[in-house]
Amino acid sequence: MLPTTYRKFRLPKILDERGNLSVFENNGYFPFEIQWVSWFFSEADSAYDTRLASQDQVVIVLSGSLKINVRQTGLPENIARFPESSNVCRPSDDLLRHGPHRSEPSQSSVLDNEPPARYVIKDGLLEEEILLNDVCNCIHLPASTASRISWSAADTSAFITGSALTDAGQLYINFLPNRKTAHEHYELLG
Amino acid sequence: MNTTSSSVNDCTLVDFPVSGTDTAFLVAPLRNGIEAPFPIKRMYYLFDIPDDKVVRGGHAHKALQQIIIALNGSFSLKLSDGLSEKIVILDSPFTGVHLVPGIWRELYDFTPGATCMVLASEVYDEKDYIRRYDEFLSYKQQPNGPIGPDGILQKFHFLRSNVVKGKTIDLHPYGMEYLDEIIRLRNQDAVKYFLAQDFDITRQQQQEWIRGYEKRTDEFGFIICNKKGEVVGITFCYNYDGRSMEIGRATFDTQRLMGMPYALETYSIIADLVFNYLQLSVLKVVIKSDNHRLLKFYQRMNWTHTGKCSIRGNDYETLQVLPGQSAHASFEHFLDGRKNKFAL
């Protein structure tokens, strides 16, 4: 699988003098129909591994910042870049009118003009590090993508949603005790 | 759920199962149709909330269900169903409030850096919003919902908080201040038998029951007092279905009732309230089949036998009365015959 199958994108930010709002929903612009949701909260640095073999997932930063390491097989050259813009995240005008105190919302977009992500080849596998440091940043991890999500800032929280129902024991979201220890035992899942 | 009749008591706290380490926590996935109380189709979150003076929300939904969670910091959530209010302080990412449709909500007292996350059962639809409180109150009184016509929940609320004055009795709102008298009446042998209560009710059990009653908004109960202020009985109206109610849970002080028309006037007033004040079409009752005295009493008040039923292994008779067949006339007739005795 090529790493270009994942997408980093930004949710619309609806500006409001009473506090800002970001939103996603099942209406065609989100990468898939929500089948389950989860969220996590950290008071200190930690990490978790995730891989959902049969389904996609999206991770959204709600506070603080996340560093996501995506590991997958692929060609070692010219592949560490974000995908071209697409229609994956274009909310409807109706959605963007959310609320009576709205101002012009920032359009959601695929982040295709950022510098390339840092990546290394490790054990014949591509490992790419992606930083999500804004409350509207998201990443779409396609099925079979192995990833480690870690954070170092206190009070970091994030939302996770998946594209398919799975048995409760099959969700493959595993907390690791701490980042450094976990790194030594990190293996590509599956 | 009919959203015009939803109550703040239908909105419940949801504790999410959590796993993790000492400093990092993961909520167990909520799967649509399994752990989630509704299919989640939208998620939004509020952040960069400027100060603690901000009030968000200020609307209700006709069909949308939501779970509101304080992902960071804390805030207060005030809910209203048009009659009652409930305030919940949300301060944990692992506890949310499930909001049913037809509830007005306001969010305020945000701590610095607070993040409010909302899971919703539908995609955004402006037509589902009610953004003005007066419109919300009108919505809760729609004639095609159980709250209508003319705001029946408000009428229940009125009956639950005011004294209804009769000729030989007054009906006082049922409540905790009558706890001792309620226990005394409930533990009479005859009452226990006909209510199929094979034990003495304890003070704690009765307190819990009264607290449950105080949370319900779609029924009303009375403490029946004579004109001396003595408690002579208890009765309730419940099982409201849009056109009928059931009278029941009735208990009387058999000593104080003797020779007095307290029961007759009670049923007369209840019929009057149900047909003329609440504008309902049917008043029902369920009576234990071997309570021959009470069955005879209802027949004397022109109630019609409609069938039989079984409750917890006991046989019961069902009866009903319609407007115009009301017991009111029979009570007036009864009083006419005893004018001298009661010196009205």
List pLDDT tens digits, range B130-148. 998 888 887 877 654 444 4
Chain B interface disruption, residue of A15, A30, A35, A37, most B CBs within 10 A: A37
The shortest CB-CB distance from A39 to any of B55, B71, B113 is to: B71
Beta bridge partners of B288: B316
Alpha helices per DSSP H over A97-172: none
- Count H helices and E strands in chain B, helices first: 10, 21
Q: A133: which chain B residues are within 8 Å (Cβ-Cβ)?
A: none
Q: The CATH number of A3-10+41-86+114-184 is which of 3.40.50, 1.10.3470, 1.10.10, 2.60.120?
A: 2.60.120
Strand order in the sheet with A13-14: A13-14, A20-25, B42-47, B115-120, B66-72, B95-99, B12-15
Does residue B305 contact residue B317 with C-beta atoms inside 8 Å? Answer: yes
pLDDT digits (tens, 9 = 90+) for B152-182: 777 888 889 889 988 899 999 999 999 999 9
Domains and CATH numbers, chain B: 3-140 (2.60.120.10), 152-342 (3.40.630.30)
**How many CB atoms lie under 10 A from the CB of residue A17?**
9
Picking from B49, B98, B116, B50, the residue whose alpha carbon sits closest to that of residue A157 is B116
Query: Model pTM?
Result: 0.60
Nearest CA in chain A to B119: A37
Q: What is the pLDDT of residue B103?
A: 94
Q: Which member of B30, B42, B71 has the closest CB to residue A62?
A: B71
Contacts of residue B181, defined as CB under 8 A and 6 or more positions apart, other chains included, come to B223, B231
Identify the CA nearest to A179 among candidates A44, A47, A40, A68: A47
The domain spans of chain A are 3-10+41-86+114-184
Tell me if B47 and A177 make a contact (CB, 8 A cut-off): no
CA distances from B9 to A129, B42, B69, B79, B99 (A): 47, 24, 18, 10, 10
DSSP string, B209-227: HHHHHHH--S-EEEEEEET
pLDDT in tens, A21-44: 988 888 767 888 899 899 988 777
Residue A135 distance to chain B (closest CA, Å): 8
Beta-carbon separation of A19 and B31 below 8 A? no
Q: Supply the mean pLDDT for chain B.
A: 85
Do the beta carbons of residue A146 and residue A56 sit within 8 Å? no
Interval B204-221 mean pLDDT: 90
Contacts of A164 in chain B (CB under 8 A): none
Put simply, whether B92 touches A (Cβ < 8 Å) is no
Using CB atoms, pick whichever of A35, A62, A177 lies closest to residue B45: A62
* Phi, then psi, of B209 in degrees rounded to 5: -65, -40
Complex ipTM > 0.90: no
Place B107 in a pLDDT band, splitting at 50, 70 and 90. Answer: very high
| Amino acid of residue B333 | H
